[in-house]
Structure 1
Amino acid sequence: MKAMILAAGLGTRLRPLTDTLPKPLLPIGGTPLILWNLLLLRRHGITEVIINLHYLGHLIEKELGDGSRFGLRLSYSREPVILGTGGGIKQAEPFFNGEPFVVLNGDTLLELDLGTVVQFHEQRNALATMVLREDPDADRWGAVETNPQQCVVRIVGRGLSKGSQTAKRMFAGVHVMHPQLLKNVPTGQASSIIDAYVNAIQGGEVIMGYGMDGYWSDVGTPERYAQAQQDAEKGLITLRARQRS
């Protein structure tokens, strides 16, 4: 299985830290944020990864190269005009050769058994699986609702009409998806992947929600960045950035 890391964002909330350095290269425990995600993928046997680039993307490519020194094979999807999560994944679609793939947000830091997530996805023959986490502010930030069978039925209030009792959780920025999810995503236009999810749910497709309970951090503000630094120092993140000799 291949993967994609979304790394094209502007990082405006982290300025001035991101004035000269893209957010994915900000160090966490001495290791660039994006490398933590790449090592998570490698830990679970996913070594072919495409990264979308926009803001200061050349610095990301310069830092990571072809990925060989990390035991990876990296490709890049360059966006002269930023395409959002939907358009960005759509542009990279040929990389996946029609096969399911994993997507990670480049600005999240987490500990997760990706192998279990992929197995969960495959066993349920889902079009896509969204990794979800408990959050008391889920309604405030945009809840993802699942039914008792763990099928996603609404995202930010959009989807199927209210029926059975649902659980509300937050999207953790990790998904497993089949390229068929992208069939109605316009090529070369900025869009959100959430729109594709809502359309799929309304069309009767199976979108699953997988609940995680491990470490997770959205490194999107100076306060959360500082907290992630402290968490790394405390050993809450167990991956280690060892290069291959």
Structure 2
Amino acid sequence: MKAMILAAGRGERMRPLTDTCPKPLLKVRGRPLIVWHILNLVKAGITEIVINHAHLGQMIVDAIGDGSKFGATISYSAEETALETAGGIAKALPLLTDGEEPFIVVSGDIYIPYFNFAECLNTLEAEDMWGNPHPLDKRDVAWLYMVKNPSFHPKGDFSLSLMGLSNEDNAGAERVTFGNIGVYRPEMFASIQAGEHAKLAPILRKYADQGQLGGELYRGEWHNLGTPEQLVALNAPPINFASKDKPH
């Protein structure tokens, strides 16, 4: 399985930092955001990685290179202007899949230091729980990793239950937020032309309505870095209360 790291966004809310540095190269705890992803993918045995870029994209290419220093093989999908999430994935499809194989996509501006990408490898099985092939109109076309609703998105994106993800508020289902990590079948993007601007959210909602969107709740450390203040807070050294005003 291959993986794609989304790195084409402008990072408007992170200005002025992103005026001179692409957001995925901003450092968290001593390491660029995008490098955290690369190292964790390689650790899981996922070494073929595609990175898209637009704003200050050559800086990403220069910093990351061909991936050999990380034990990976990295290729790039350059966009003249950012094509939105679904548009960027559609343009990169020839680098990601043979047309059948699912692939992982993760946003380059989230911080998930302990996410185990090996968990993604068997999420979109070709068979149901009884070993029978899924009908093509019923199998999940994507598997999303959700997180508890952050303060900036209190209503969440979908309802999560044992039946998968739904747009509706269902009894017994928890409202959760998309964590910007997912596994996708290439058929999701077949109708998008290479170079076309397209958002991912409407596509996900369509498949949720059809009962073909699976997912699970990720409970590990997760940060969606939106502002310079968030970056400063995350990089602040921990307070050692034990050593403060310690009695003699």
TM-score w.r.t. length of structure 2: 0.83
Q: Which whole-Å CA distance do the structure 2 matches of 1:152 and 1:102 have between them?
A: 18
* Aligned equivalent of 1:103, options 105, 108, 116: 105
Q: 1:90 to 1:74 in 2, by over 3 A?
A: same
| 1:139 CA drift (Å) | 5.5
Q: Does 1:14 align with 2:33?
A: no
User: Which structure has the larger Rg over C-alpha atoms?
Assistant: 2
8 Å CA contact 2:140, 2:214 repeated in 1: yes
The letter for the 2-side match of 1:174 is I
Q: Any gaps of 5 or more consecutive residues in structure 1?
A: 155-160, 235-245
* Aligned equivalent of 1:116, options 114, 119, 138: 119
| 1:209 CA drift (Å) | 1.3
The letter for the 2-side match of 1:23 is K
TM-score w.r.t. length of structure 1: 0.84
The letter for the 2-side match of 1:191 is A
Deviations 1:108-130 (CA, angstroms, capped at 9, x unpaired): 01122222233344376521101
| 1:227 CA drift (Å) | 2.5
| 1:224 CA drift (Å) | 1.5
Q: Does 1:188 align with 2:195?
A: yes
| 1:137 CA drift (Å) | 4.0
Q: Which whole-Å CA distance do the structure 2 matches of 1:194 and 1:138 have between them?
A: 17
* Aligned equivalent of 1:219, options 198, 209, 225: 225
Identify the residue that residue 241 of structure 2 maps to in structure 1.
none
SS at match of 1:188: coil
8 Å CA contact 2:102, 2:124 repeated in 1: no
Question: 1:189-208 to 2 correspondence within 5 Å?
Answer: 189-202=196-209, 204-208=210-214
| 1:20 CA drift (Å) | 1.0
The letter for the 2-side match of 1:4 is M
Q: Does 1:127 align with 2:141?
A: yes
The letter for the 2-side match of 1:145 is S
Q: Which whole-Å CA distance do the structure 2 matches of 1:138 and 1:114 have between them?
A: 26
Q: Which whole-Å CA distance do the structure 1 matches of 2:172 and 2:145 have between them?
A: 20
SS at match of 2:82: coil
Q: Which whole-Å CA distance do the structure 2 matches of 1:141 and 1:188 have between them?
A: 32
Q: Which whole-Å CA distance do the structure 1 matches of 2:153 and 2:232 have between them?
A: 25
CA-atom RMSD in angstroms = 2.0
Q: Which whole-Å CA distance do the structure 2 matches of 1:138 and 1:217 have between them?
A: 12
Count of residue pairs brought into register by the alignment: 224
Deviations 1:126-163 (CA, angstroms, capped at 9, x unpaired): 211010011254854642212x3241111xxxxxx565
Deviations 1:23-44 (CA, angstroms, capped at 9, x unpaired): 1111122211110111111111
